[in-house]
Structures are given as structure tokens and as C-alpha cells.
Amino acid sequence: MTWDRLRSRQPVVAKLLQQAVVRERLPHAYVFEGEDRLEHREAASLLCRAFLCRSTETKPCGVCHDCKRAENGSHPDLTTIQPDGLSIKKNQVELLQKEFAYKGMESPRKVYVIEDADLMTASAANSLLTFLEEPEGETLAILMTRNLHFLLPTIVSRSQILSFSPLSDVERQKNLEAAGEKPVLAALRARIGDKPVDLPEEERTAWIVHGRQVVIQLAEEVLQRPQQARLILQEKWHSHFKDRNHIDTGLDLFLFWYRDVLYMKWEREDLAYPDQAERLRVESLHRSETMLASNMKAVMEAKKYLSANVNPQLIMERLLLRIQEGS
Ligand SMILES: [Zn+2]
């Protein structure tokens, strides 16, 4: 990430950050707010390098010792905290404070990044609060959150808020691929965001890979062999999409399937299932636009029933029927 690239995607954020760096007027803490975690990470990485860089010219210079160590994640004055399981715990924040106090003498500048800051437990947040109030030396904090309202107001009031604008699906997909995600998964993840949110990052990928397979199979059978579809529902769908949160994401995957079929008719290439183009094309030949619109509506209604606590088994059986009939 460079200032130019950041400016092309997040003009307001880039301008504010770069001005602060050039004028050496950084606040004690920033909160990056917005849906896109990757966008936050890249902006944070750029800001950390600029903050730690020792060049007297443009920062980050990209060649000094500090820039290089910050870039490859080995800078001793840069710490990143991520959720430990489903939350950020008090001892993680305390450990950070201890480390910073210990290193306090040697290095003038320190920076820490807290990803998913809204997942801090109340005691972790309170512990951080005292740290934000009495930072040692020149310390910069970067907190990332999807939604500002999930952070303690006392933390928000002590930070400078930067709101990131949402990216298009295609932009998000490109970013995910650039960060190393497989293209097939990047396409889907760009569209469903961080769902299901209750799974830690490392489990989420495997969950999506499998869920995606089940959805593709079910979508295919529902058209060709309705009996088989019912079997897949019993044996594969319900065992993978268990709680409401997961079923809701499964329905999103389903929704994107039918949108893709519609997109095939319109010859659009921004598909959520790019590797399934052939299947999608065949399905698009068998269904009219009206039918596909009804399919999508049926999925949307299934989502609504789900949030109204209707039995998931009933919801799915009804959905399959409606999809078969195209009604
Ligand atoms: Zn540098």
C-alpha cells in the first residue's frame, strides 16, 4: 500500500492521515471504522510504517531499517492484537502495556494496532482506557472496528475517528486476492463480508469452502432431481448450517447463486461463483428472468422467516419447493 493507492480508494482518509504524518501531528489514537477489515489493515500498515520511518523526506521511505522491519512484521515497536478466540481479553491488553513500559526507554516511538476492537471484553476495554489516557512517550494506537457503536463511548471520545467508505464487491475481491486469498473464495467472501461473524478467521475459510460446496450441490439437484435435493438437505445442509447465524449465511450463499444465474443471462462477469460459470450458464437457459427473480425473493423471505424464529427445517423445505416451482 502506498499513499497514492490509498488516495485512490479512500480519498478522505488518505488526505487526513498523510497531512497528520507530514505535519507530525498525530493523535494518540485513531479508530478506523468501516465494514472492510482488509482496507483497515492496509491503511494501518501504511500509517505504522510512516510513523516509524526515520527518513527526513517522504514517509514511509520504504528503504530504511524501520520501514523494512515494519513491513515484514518484525519491528519491535509495532504490536498487533487480534481476538483470542471470540474476544480480546484483558490479559492481552495488559501484556501490551507491560511490553511497552519495558521498551519505553530504548525507543522513542511505539505503535499498536487492535483489530476487531469491538470484541474487547469490558475489562479489556477499561484497561485500554487508562493506557489511552496516559500513553508513555510517543505512542500511537490504531483501533479497527466494523461499527463505532460497539465501542465504549469513552474510548471513542479519546480517539480520532476515520470512517472508511464501502468498496464495491469487485474492489473487495481484488483486495482479497492481492492479500493471498484464492480467487474462488475471494469472490464469495467479497460478497458475504466477515460472515459468519461468530467463527474465528481461521475456521471461517474451511466453513465457507464446505458451505459453498453444499449450496452448489443443492442448487443443481433442486432443478434436476428434487428427491435428491431433499436428501442433501437432510444429510448435508442441516449438518453444516446449524444455528440461525450460520443458516442465514447459507441463505446468502444461495441468494448469490441465483443472482449469478441471472447475471449469466445478462452476460455479466462479476460472479460470486466464477468457477461455476458452466453450471450457471446451463441453469440460466432453463429459467426465465421472472423465475429467477421469484427464486431470489423466496430466499429473501426464508431469511425473514428465519429471523422470526420459524423452524429452520420447515423454512428450507418450503424454500426448495418454491424454487422448484419457480414461484
Ligand atoms: Zn523509512
Q: What is the full DSSP assignment across 119-183?
A: GB-HHHHHHHHHHHHS--SEEEEEEEES-GGGS-HHHHTTSEEEEPPPPPHHHHHHHHHHTT--H
Q: What is the pLDDT of residue 132?
A: 86
Q: What is the pLDDT of residue 3?
A: 94
Instruction: Name the nearest CA neighbour of 320 among 245, 212, 215, 226.
Output: 226
Distant-in-sequence, close-in-space partners of 271: CB < 8 Å, separation ≥ 6? 187, 260, 263, 264, 277, 280
Q: What is the pLDDT of residue 209?
A: 95
Q: How far apart are CA 116 and CA 49, in angstroms?
A: 21
Q: Which amino acid, residue 91? A: N
Cα 111 to averaged position of ligand 1 atoms, centre (Å): 15
Cα 95 to averaged position of ligand 1 atoms, centre (Å): 28
Instruction: Name the nearest CA neighbour of 280 among 181, 324, 270.
Output: 270
Q: How far apart are CA 327 and CA 305, in angstroms?
A: 17
- Give me the residue label for grid cell 469487485: 170
Cα 56 to averaged position of ligand 1 atoms, centre (Å): 9
Cα 257 to averaged position of ligand 1 atoms, centre (Å): 46
Task: Please list all protein residues whose beta carbon sits less than 5 angstroms from ligand 1, which is an ion.
Answer: 53, 55, 60-61, 64, 67
Cα 175 to averaged position of ligand 1 atoms, centre (Å): 24
- Give me the residue label for grid cell 418450503: 318
Q: How far apart are CA 211 and CA 205, in angstroms?
A: 10
Q: Which parts of the chain sit beneath pLDDT 50? A: none
Q: What is the pLDDT of residue 288?
A: 93
Cα 50 to averaged position of ligand 1 atoms, centre (Å): 7
- Give me the residue label for grid cell 474487547: 120
> What H or E segment, with its residue span, contains residue 110?
strand 109-114
Cα 75 to averaged position of ligand 1 atoms, centre (Å): 12
- Give me the residue label for grid cell 421472472: 290
Q: What is the pLDDT of residue 200?
A: 82
Cα 22 to averaged position of ligand 1 atoms, centre (Å): 13
Ordered by where they begin, the domains of the chain are 3-167 (3.40.50.300), 171-325 (no CATH)
- Give me the residue label for grid cell 489514537: 29
Cα 71 to averaged position of ligand 1 atoms, centre (Å): 10
Cα 54 to averaged position of ligand 1 atoms, centre (Å): 5
Q: What is the pLDDT of residue 327?
A: 65
Cα 65 to averaged position of ligand 1 atoms, centre (Å): 7
